[in-house]
Structure 1
Amino acid sequence: MSSSHLCSSSRAGRHAGLALAALVLSAALPASALPGGGKTPQAIVDADQPPQVQGVDVEERLGEPLPLAARFTDEAGREVSLGEVLPKDKATLLTLVYYECPMLCNLVINAQVAAMREVGLELGKDYEAVTVSIDPKDTPAQSEQRRRRHLQAMGKPESAPWRFLTGTEEHIRKLTEAVGFKYRYDESTKQYAHPAVVHVITPEGSVSRYLYGTSFPAKDMKLALVEAGNGRVGTSFDRVVLSCFKYDTAMRRYSFYVFGFIRTGAMLVFTALSAMLIYFWRRELKKGAAA
């Protein structure tokens, strides 16, 4: 491993890396992820953060299109555009990481894998996944290694549609700026400070939802995929359940939506009453015909 890579082989470098990752976890949570978030000036937020993580944030750009023409290299060494690897008929989980990250990226990806195993949806059939490295020095060989490892952890074959991409600084920046993923390189530790987030992308190639942290409840991931897929993900029951939950922009979670529950309950009652009335109406018609 070269000295320019961010995970030092020395014990001191490792400790510095873990310290930086801990700082990101504790201090780089977007201000907009807190109740009343989005109202605090960035200068004030940065003033309260260690220098290594100042400016590390997520600037939500819901509904904004991704740069589909941006060019990357996939795990097999082929040059592809982002538009080529994003499915046109289902939602996508997009993760931005780097392969030499000592802690945070592994926490995010492992949590993503755990949620994908429990989400109740099938990778490839209901949704797909794309992971892009933010480090221009990362290679397709590393992409293939990580891809194989995470697919094995899910019990999926190597043909499963989870793409791992590397690219140049120019095209990486196009993507990170489009999704509002703000990160920085820390020269003192030779590492990237970055947010912990999974992006949920629509079939049209725009940002639908952000899932924050290093733990993703399967319910939140499933509802986000159903929402992003616009009915093309999940079952009819999933879409009924979605109407009973509302995305809480302050807490960054799907919360029980009592009015949605009442509305859904009223619809079910109406459907049941309609079916009962139709049954009795048909029975009376049969009696009349028999007389």
Structure 2
Amino acid sequence: MLRPRRVIPFFAVLLAALTSLAAANPCLAQYSADKPLGAAAQNKPSYLQNAGIDQRLGTQLPLNAQFIDSTGKAVTLGDYFHQRPVVLAEVYFKCGMLCPQVLHGMAQALRQTGFHPGDEYDILVTSIDPDDTPADAAEAKAHIATMLGTPGAADHVHFLTGRQPAIDALASATGFHFVRVPGPDGKMDQFAHSSVIMIATPDGRLSKYFSGIEYQPRDLRLALIEASNRRIGSLSDIVLLYCCSYSPSQGRYTVAVLRILGIAGMGSILAMGAVFYLLSRKPRPVAA
């Protein structure tokens, strides 16, 4: 009699292989840490324990922190906070895996919001690697500006590099924890970090966090409207924003059921009042 094949060892081997792969690649391992995948999350390397994100909504960014822009010019963070909300991302420009996906997802979602850089928002991307150069920043900026598909977008897309004190000051304010880890060749040239973009108000306060590498255009649009104190967007956006609420734990907007029920209740009362008014009106006498 044929004996059934043993499949459990195969899956055990497969799981062990995936765990080893995550340990070897810090970006992949960090993505798994953000969204645990069963036993793989249990075996997270010790050096990843300090990498993650703490949402610090309402925190003032260090606007005096000094950076270098993609042209080599010395700037401060405050140079990019004026009248519009800012979409903020912390990455490193030599990253070959997670960071490009974060920036790609950000550009794709922003392009679908119906808003345009320079009109309703600005983009600010800072490097967490002090070894990144303005040339690295310029190359990354050109790619993202092209993806946005808006004429003049490059004037409102800013990629910055900086020294460790400025990098640490911004990361501390945003709760963006990262660690430097050895690559396959043993060199300390990679970083473990979270995949996240943030929305800041025009005066430099953190307003919203969105995790992952894909972002919902509707959520980004509502976040930008809210960060602008409703100075942008249409009437329908304001109504939608009233009917939705931001969930920090989920990093997205969800339907506010109680608000919708309240609107429905008010509508019913107004309708009933209109009916009673019409019924109580005395009929006009018919002219002979």
In the superposition, the TM-score normalised over structure 1's length comes to: 0.77
Aligned to 1:225: 224
Alignment of 1:87-166 (within 5 A): 88-158=82-152, 159-166=154-161
Distance 1:122 1:111 in 2: 16
Cα root mean square deviation, aligned: 2.8
Q: Which letter does structure 2 place at the counterpart of 1:263?
A: G
Question: Is the partner of 2:75 in helix, strand or coil?
Answer: strand
Gaps in structure 2 of 5+ consecutive residues: 1-20, 278-288
Do the aligned partners of 2:243 and 2:256 also contact (CA within 8 Å) in 1? yes
- Partner SS state of residue 96, structure 1: strand
Q: Give the paired residue count.
A: 249
What amino acid maps onto 2:246 in structure 1? Answer: Y
Give a deviation string over 1:103-126, Cα, whole Å, max 9, x none. Answer: 000110000011011112122111
Residues 58-67 or 47-56, more deviating: 47-56
Shift of 1:170: 0.7
Report the CA distance shift for 1:18/1:243 in structure 2 as closer, same or farther (over 3 A). farther
SS of residue paired to 1:160: helix
CA–CA separation in structure 1 for the residues paired with 2:141 and 2:111: 15
Residue 261 of structure 1 is matched in structure 2 by: 260
Where does residue 249 of structure 2 map in the other structure?
250
Instruction: Report which of the two structures shows the higher radius of gyration computed on alpha carbons.
Output: 2
Question: How far is the alpha carbon of 1:248 from its aligned partner?
Answer: 2.1
Q: Identity rate of aligned residues, in percent? A: 33
- TM-score between both structures, scaled by the size of structure 2: 0.78
User: Which consecutive unaligned segments of at least 5 residues does structure 1 have?
Assistant: 1-14, 31-45, 281-291
Query: Matched residue of 2:155: which SS?
Result: coil
Alignment partners' CA distance in 2, 1:164 and 1:269: 52
> Which range moves more in the overlay, 192-201 or 117-126?
117-126
Q: How does 1:58-97 map to 2 (within 5 A)?
A: 58-86=53-81, 88-97=82-91
Aligned 1:138-287 pairs, distance under 5 A = 138-158=132-152, 159-189=154-184, 190-265=189-264
2:44 maps to: 49
Shift of 1:89: 1.6
User: What corresponds to 2:282 in structure 1?
Assistant: none
AA aligned to 1:181 is F
Code of the residue aligned with 1:94 in structure 2: it is L
